Homo-oligomer: A and B are copies of this chain.
Amino acid sequence: MKDEREQGKAPIPDIVIGRLPVYLRTLRLLADDGREVTSSQELGEHLGISSAQIRKDLSHFGEFGKQGTGYNIEFLCRQLQKILNVDTIWPVILVGAGSLGTAIANYQEFESSGFRIVAVMDEDLQKIGQPIGHGLRIKDFADLNQLVRETRVQIAVMAVPAHAAQRVAAQLIEAGLNSILCYAPITLAVPPHVRVEYIDPVVHFQHMTYYLR
């Protein structure tokens, strides 16, 4: 189904792609509850999105439900995993072993979602060699290039201070990574082939306070 993109059809809007992981997450929670079938109506109520929007989003990728019988949850999960390329495990490196990096390294949800943190790196000599996360030891960020060669990792998480973020990102990109999840409160300058997503709680807080009196 992804081949549609290679057949010269219009690319699927990025905002649609951004909703698919949320659909997948919701479907998996339903499956964990023992549910086998759902509908665009039920998903829409869970997510605060119209059922028409959900059907339209999914229709970009094929026909997943039958009129009147809804979606088979297990099947739709597998299809969404294929579409999102998470029917495999992606290696991820985490840069920054401070308080936030430690929390990310400890997070339990990555492996079941298609991701494994294969290395945690830092520049702080005091931290290098210390245990972190699930059976890892903090590695020297100076060894980045070797690690990338060995693991063929494409994805990094950056949990570093804002003042270090641009330099760290440049080193990651230089080493060959092309996908960065940035927790530093900064917008990175990156070449066009590199994709960056951002997590900044302040942006969310300030979005909410706009609506508060």
Contact = CB atoms under 8 A, between A and B. Distances in A.
Contacts of A106: 99-100
A208 B185 CA distance: 19
A135 to B, nearest CB: 16
Nearest to A101: B103
A203 B48 contact: no
Most buried by B among A90, A92, A204: A204
A114 interface: yes
A182 to B, nearest CB: 9
Given A21-B203, A203-B22, A107 B100 contact: yes
Contact of A212 (B154, B185, B189): B154
A172 interface: no
B115 A20 contact: no
Contacts of A186: 25, 29
Contacts of A199: 199, 201, 204
A187 B48 contact: yes
A196 B79 CA distance: 28
Contacts of A20: 206-207, 210
Contacts of A204: 181, 197, 199
Contacts of A22: 187, 203
Contact of A84 (B103, B162, B179, B206): B206
Contacts of A187: 22, 25-26, 46-48
Contacts of A21: 200, 202-203, 205-207
24 contacts: A17-B210, A18-B207, A21-B202, A25-B200, A29-B162, A84-B207, A84-B209, A85-B210, A86-B206, A86-B209, A98-B103, A100-B106, A103-B103, A104-B201, A109-B185, A110-B201, A113-B202, A113-B206, A114-B202, A115-B205, A157-B201, A179-B212, A181-B204, A199-B201
CB-based closest 3 A-B pairs: A21-B206, A197-B204, A103-B103
